Homo-oligomer: A and B are copies of this chain.
Amino acid sequence: MDYGMELKEKKQLIEDALDSYLPAEDNYPVRVHQAMRYSIFAGGKRIRPVLMILSAELFTDEINKVLPAACSMEMIHTYSLIHDDLPAMDDDTYRRGRLTCHKAFGEATAILAGDALLTMAFEILSENSSACKQNKYSESYGDDVRPETKLQVINELAKAAGVNGMIGGQVVDLESEGKVLEKEVIDYINKNKTGKLIETSIRLGVLLGGGEKDDLANLTRYGMILGEAFQLVDDLLDVVGDSTKMGKKSGMDAEKEKATYIAIMGLEKTKAKRDSLYEQAVEQLVPYGQSASVLHGITNFIFYRDF
């Protein structure tokens, strides 16, 4: 199954759409626009928007319907990385082999570039059709997606990214450094810090693609499992990953005394948990048979990637 090629195509689609949504680098004020583009085009794997598009494609071939939300999701993910890397947070110098945003542009610009990306995510999702005409991809978004659906997309994204979602997870993660944690707390961090955006990427794909209620339930479950696994695999990579491929040093979690499953369950049990989550995830895709083959492919990648 050559899903690699299809993933590559999807990724290119997203790169192009992000490029057309983001204001040009020479827009005034220049520096913050440069910083926004620097971080958006920093070699991200685009896993969230790819998942959203693939989930939508189970039900529609009109990718235009889902591209604005896919780009918004990536903008929110990117803003969260910019802010997480700040000196007051994780204090990281490199990400994906390049200087972090605040190292390249200064802290003030990095904070504001993050704020701007978060804000722009909601601007894009609320455009009406005429405003979208400027954009080669979203032309039909305004016309084809019901306003009620757009509002639901905005609401789900805001909740997933908010204080009872991603931000909550980041808060608890920061507060937990250097502490011995209960498994429940690690579950909370993983579910919220990373899981919520992954799960919501799938949900928004189904919603915008026009899946039925049952599909939404099935695939939300798939998204939850994937979300739970995502951070767990990231933690595994920090221990066993290839730092050249990852573009960051391995072993950083232990150095920073980060709360991970590995710290409390050990490496082998963490691997076993990953394998069990994998089984559960692919089971959710069974009803979609061959149409879910690319989704199946990216699921394999997420669980067994080495970078």
Contact = CB atoms under 8 A, between A and B. Distances in A.
Contacts of A83: 111-112, 115
A180 interface: no
Interface string A27-69: 1110111001000000000000000000000000000000000
A127 interface: yes
Given A111-B111, A131-B155, A29 B122 contact: no
A177 to B, nearest CB: 10
Interface residues of A, number: 54
Contacts of A106: 88
A108 B31 contact: no
B23 A163 contact: yes
Interface in A74-110: 79, 83, 86, 88-89, 106-109
Contact of A115 (B23, B31, B112, B118): B118
A73 interface: no
A135 interface: no
A80 to B, nearest CB: 8
Given A111-B88, A161-B119, A154 B155 contact: no
Q: How many copies are assembled?
A: 2
A155 B126 contact: yes
A89 B111 contact: yes
A107 B88 contact: yes
Contacts of A29: 168, 171-172, 175
A128 B115 CA distance: 25
A123 interface: yes
Contacts of A28: 168, 188
Interface stretch (A145-153, A280-288, A291-299): A145-153
Nearest to A79: B115
Given A83-B111, A108-B89, A147-B147, A167 B126 contact: no
Contacts of A147: 146-148, 150-151
